[in-house]
Amino acid sequence: LNREVPKDMLAIIIRNCGGMVSWDSCPGIAYHEDDKRITHQIIDRPLAANVNINRVY
């Protein structure tokens, strides 16, 4: 996810499709990055050092 992408619009689309959205280091975080329930993760380049094989990046 590039920094230029409006996160609010992306969050609306994901939530309207039944998904849950959370951002790292924000107030009211729904769950932490190491939560086992996370199936998809959108990140900015470069790819994170600790990649989880059960997620789609």
Taking only the tens place, the pLDDT of each residue in 3-54 is 677 888 888 998 999 988 887 767 777 788 788 888 887 776 666 677 777 7
Estimate to the nearest angstrom the gap between the alpha carbon of 26 and the chain centroid.
12
Estimate to the nearest angstrom the gap between the alpha carbon of 3 and the chain centroid.
13
Burial 35-47 (b: 16+ CB within 10 A, else e): eeebeeeeeeeee
Does this model's pTM top 0.85? no
